[in-house]
Amino acid sequence: MVTILDERPHAAGNCHTERDAETGVLVHVYGPHIFHTDDAGVWEYVNSFTTFKPYMNRVKSTAQGQVFSLPVNLHTINQFFGTTLRPDEARALITGKADKSLTDPQNFEEQALSMIGPELYEAFFKGYTQKQWGCEPTDLPASILKRLPLRFNYDDNYFFHKYQGMPESGYTPMVEAILDHPGITLRLNTRFERADAAGFGHVFYSGPLDGWYGCDLGRLGYRTLDFERFIAEGDYQGCAVMNYPGLDVPFTRITEHKHFSPWENHHGSVLYREFSRACEPGDIPYYPIRLAAEQELLTAYVARAQAESGVTFVGRLGTYRYLDMDVTIREAMTAAEMFLTATASNKPMPAFAVNPA
Ligand code: UDP
């Protein structure tokens, strides 16, 4: 028997979707979630619980007084430099701008300069990253930028994964369908404290790793988000996600939720301006920062967790990694399989399915 505890009044965590009372639009309450994966098993799994509609994430960026196509592709390059280059010519242009001395980029900025050169970096990435992460891009890992493709054709699909889509009725019904099983009890509005673990055979903990220990070694840094909701009529911005990389505006992006469900029709529109800031106690942690200091603290918490029995840490918060939905699901499946194998052979279940340190 499995009991799922969630302190919130709904399932699905930060993927939660709900109908906006005023407009009827399906809203991604904790910010945009677009399902994309290369993992056929995970894709098959989620599709067995709900109907996915084809959805391609196409993001625009308002920078330096113009609207550009993202991720950086041939259209962006031609728009930005006022050129009509073909793919090979654009590649040559960008190669000429890229800093070739950075053969082994050590941080976000070096990764950007070695990939696209200073102009595109400053227009699209520098300001956005400063606002999003609250620190200098030189302090951030190169891996954050590696999330985004660079293309020398007109493909403006934000992701390079094989499967991409949106659950037709939202993520919450999908998660509810996953949990709809005679062996599973879902208890909402129920906070879980570490002391409650004694009442369970094994705990899979998806809350913050440092929180399990009352943050007694220090707090792992996170960014939290504030959403400023506003309503419009018809179509406000013409796309789901418009990024604002400039430091002239304090938000990072505006999401227009009706465009996440293009198969629906609504006259009204609901939008979120998204502001990022340091996560204080009581705020919702969204993005693990993982600077050098956090890395050290993480190693200490991980060592401590590994000495425990009866608890396995999962998910973005439990493993303090910038995981996407598909990876989180894959790792949860791996954890479940490991648990079954360990139980069958009377071996202890490890604290992590994947070592996060
Ligand atoms: N990023 C940026 N400019 C953009 C979009 C992204 O500088 O217009 C950088 C920024 O540092 C961001 C990272 O790339 O945190 C990853 O972007 P992604 O769109 O994957 O972020 P998410 O949707 O997970 O917030």
Give one DSSP letter per residue of 264-323, joined into a string.
Answer: S--SEEEEEEEEEEEPPTTSPP-EE---HHHHHHHHHHHHHHHT-SSEEE-HHHHTTS--
Q: How far is the CA of 124 from the centre of ligand 1 (A)?
A: 10
Atom in ligand 1 nearest the alpha carbon of residue 158: 19
For 226-254, the DSSP string reads EEEEEEEES-SSSSSEEE--STTSS-SEE
With beta carbons less than 8 A apart as the criterion, state whether 257 and 23 touch. Answer: no
Is 58 a known active-site residue?
Answer: no
Minimal-distance CA residue to ligand 1 atom 20: 147
How many angstroms separate the CA atoms of 202 and 349, rounded?
9
Q: Which of ligand 1's atoms lies nearest the C-alpha of 147?
A: 20
256, 233 contact by CB (below 8 A)? no
pLDDT of amino acid 292: 80
Tell me whether residue 304 is one of the annotated catalytic residues.
no
Ordered alpha helix ranges (H), the chain: 40-47, 74-81, 87-97, 108-120, 127-133, 171-179, 209-212, 292-306, 315-318, 325-344
Which of 121, 244, 253, 272 is labelled catalytic?
253
- The residue written with tokens 């913050």 in the block is 208
Tell how far the Cα of 240 is from the centroid of ligand 1, in angstroms.
15
CB 208 within 8 A of CB 318: yes
Q: CA-based angle 278:282:286, to the nearest 5?
A: 50
Catalytic residue among 20, 223, 244, 326: 223
Per-residue tens of pLDDT for the chain, all 357 residues: 999 999 999 999 999 999 999 999 999 999 999 999 999 999 999 999 999 999 999 999 999 999 999 999 999 999 999 999 999 999 999 999 999 999 999 999 999 999 999 999 999 999 999 999 999 999 998 989 988 899 999 999 999 999 999 999 999 999 999 999 999 999 999 999 999 999 999 999 999 999 999 999 999 999 999 999 999 999 999 999 999 999 999 999 999 999 999 999 999 999 999 999 999 999 999 999 988 889 999 999 999 999 999 999 999 999 999 999 999 999 999 999 999 999 999 999 999 999 898
pLDDT at residue 321 in the model: 96
Residues paired with residue 230 on neighbouring β-strands, in sequence order: 271
Distance 253 CA to ligand 1 centre (A): 10
Which ligand 1 atom sits closest to the C-alpha of 132?
A: 15
Q: Is residue 166 within 8 Å of residue 55, measured between CB atoms?
A: yes
Does residue 340 sit in helix, strand or coil?
helix
Ligand 1, atom 22: nearest CA belongs to which residue? 32
Distance 147 CA to ligand 1 centre (A): 8
AA letter at 322: Y
CB within 8 A of 350, min separation 6: which ones?
A: 306, 312, 338, 342
What integer pLDDT is reported at residue 146 of this predicted model? 87
| Ligand 1, atom 23: closest residue by C-alpha | 32
In 3D, which of 124, 119, 120, 121 has the Cα closest to residue 110?
A: 121
pLDDT of residue 147: 84
